[in-house]
Structure 1
Amino acid sequence: MPKKIIAGNWKMNMTFDEGQKLTSEIVNMYQDESISGVEVVLNVPFPHLMPVKKLIGKAQGIEVGAQNCSDQASGAYTGEVSAQMIASFGAKYVIIGHSERRSLFQEDNDLLAKKVKIALDSGLTPIFCCGESLEIREAGTHIPNVKFQLTQGLFDLSAENFAKVVIAYEPIWAIGTGKTASSDQAQEMHSALRKHIAAQYGKEIAAEVSILYGGSMKPDNAQDLLSKKDVDGGLIGGASLKSRDFIDIIKSY
């Protein structure tokens, strides 16, 4: 069975004090409400990595992650943050290829493949994002388009390394727009991706890989989305900035 994961993505939000307050609320609610069986990941801006890790402390079931990393191990790359640096703070995860990185910073599949490899070499679990625009969705080419992203970004990995990756499907047209892919649309894509993985790496690995849904999951639609066979969790944006909403999504499992 794939691991169940609910990952929050703070994006470029939260001052130090706001981040401390939010993290404390999430950790306390998670423990007070006896949640189990779901791995929770707080993917935070770089300055929050250490303070959030300290607040999480020894709480079981909650991990910290970053939202990006460099494709270089070290060197004269002013302003960049390496995967090894991220791991040294005790982070476990890193988001790679989020739709905003692809569109705003022109990160292509070749670059993202390098980031995935260097993250794995540093002991991090990549959350590899893939998804389609509204134009591609309406053209009916969304499934081959997203499968291509997976092929280009991940299929150079060995089976052993691929099994360590988490995938997040992002219908880009449903992020920050108020639109949400229906649970059937999500299942259709997740199922297609799992079959694509099975064709490359075999059914056993495909059955174990966690595929998260990353398109405006909220407390009122989480249970429907998470009930689908091939939806193994969520990559949560806006709702992860509100402790009650985020916890309610986690409890939807």
Structure 2
Amino acid sequence: MTDPVPTATGPLWIGTSWKMNKGLAEARYYARGLADHLQRTALPGVQPFVIPSFTALAATREELGTDSPVLLGVQNAHWEDEGAWTGEVSVAQAKDAGAQLVEIGHSERREHFGETVATTRLKVAAALRHGLVPLLCIGESDEVKQAGGSSEFILDQAAGALDGLTAEQLRHVLIAYEPIWAIGEHGRPATVSELQEPFAELGREYGSRTAGLLYGGSVNLDNAADLLGIEHVTGLFVGRTAWQLPGYLRLLEIGANHPKAR
């Protein structure tokens, strides 16, 4: 496992969440192909990560191998270590199944499953307690954007989730800015100019204090390099473009060839 704590320059994080997709056979095929590719191809300056569904986590880990440079994550986890929480999976259980990273606070979790700033704070603390990397997702709606409140909104989301962390703990946290208006099948790809101010604010507050600031939202093969070029962006959190292995491998290549990776 690659050390997630940033160096002076830090790695470029290139990762994907499969959301509620892929059965075991598909997961194994993808992971086996990724493992084969990484045995033949070096990715200097790039930290790959993949977040499958819970059911595919162990199989994906098995195909990648224990010495893989790919960090494996889960899309959610409960903050309690154990107890009467029917249907939930704890961070400890996720780690036992092979997870090294926990996605926290995705807008779909906030909208459909009642995720709040308070629960994101509990989950970040739980991930750190068990030695996993918290990947905190933040992002504003189109209504907030149109009102001119994007930066204030996302900084409030981040501050609420990271409240009380020590400087050392914060160094292990990833933040993914995913504006709600730019994500999903019907999302509108953000322009570089639209992202400069939010990342300037995030960079001032967290750029030198966290493991990385990622962008997610309608990332594709045509805009990936430009998005990586935005000041303070140190990675991409990708959906549909990376769900098929060739797309993800091409994104890894784009990251490895980017000036920020050297």
TM-score over 0.5 (shorter chain): yes
- Verify: 1:240 aligned to 2:235, yes or no: no
Q: Which runs of 5+ in 2 are unaligned?
A: 1-8, 256-262
Q: How does 1:34-49 map to 2 (within 5 A)?
A: 34-49=42-57
What is the letter of the counterpart of residue 91 of structure 1? A
Q: Which residue of 1 aligns with 2:199?
A: 190
Percent of aligned pairs with the same amino acid: 34
Residue pair 1:5, 1:41 contacting (<8 A) in 2 also: yes
| Contact kept? 2:187, 2:217, Cα under 8 Å | no
Q: Does 1:231 find its partner at 2:233? A: yes
> Is the 1:20–1:51 Cα contact (8 Å) retained in structure 2?
yes
Aligned-residue offset at 1:163: 1.2
Q: Which amino acid aligns with 1:219?
A: L
Amino acid at match of 2:211: V
- TM-score, L = length of structure 2: 0.89
Looking at secondary structure, tell me which structure has more helix per residue.
1
Partner of 2:211: 209
Q: Is 1:162 equivalent to 2:170 in the alignment? A: yes
Look up the match of 2:39.
31
User: Which residue of the other structure, out of 135, 146, 156, is the alignment partner of 2:154?
Assistant: 146
Q: Which runs of 5+ in 1 are unaligned?
A: 199-204
Q: How big is the shift at 1:58?
A: 4.4
From 94, 119, 138, give the equivalent of 2:102: 94
CA contact (8 A) 1:64 1:92 kept: yes
Of the structure 1 ranges 180-189 and 243-252, higher mean CA displacement relative to structure 2 is found in 180-189
C-alpha distance in 2 between matches for 1:159 and 1:35: 29
Using the size of structure 1 for normalisation, the TM-score is 0.92
Q: CA deviation at 1:227?
A: 1.6
Tell me how far apart the structure 1 counterparts of residues 40 and 187 of structure 2 sit (CA, whole Å). Answer: 31
**1:66 alignment counterpart:** 74
SS of match in other structure, 2:223: helix
CA contact (8 A) 1:56 1:63 kept: no
Is contact 1:38–1:61 with CA below 8 Å preserved after alignment? no
Alpha-carbon deviation of 1:93?
0.5
Q: What is the match of residue 201 of structure 1?
A: none
Q: Can you list the C-alpha shifts for 1:193-242, whole angstroms capped at 9, x where unaligned?
A: 121237xxxxxx43x53000011111111011112221111111112211
Whichever residue aligns with residue 182 of structure 2, its letter is A
RMSD of equivalent CA atoms: 1.5
Report the 3-state secondary structure (helix = DSSP H, G, I; strand = E; otherwise coil) of the residue aligned with 2:190.
coil
Q: Please tell me whether the aligned partners of residues 34 and 64 of structure 2 are also in contact (alpha carbons under 8 angstroms).
A: no
Alignment of 1:48-63 (within 5 A): 48-63=56-71
CA distance change for structure 1 residues 150 and 195 in 2, over 3 Å: closer, same or farther?
same
Change (3 A) 1:241 1:14: same
Give the partner amino acid of 1:120: L
**Deviation of the 1:187 alpha carbon:** 3.0
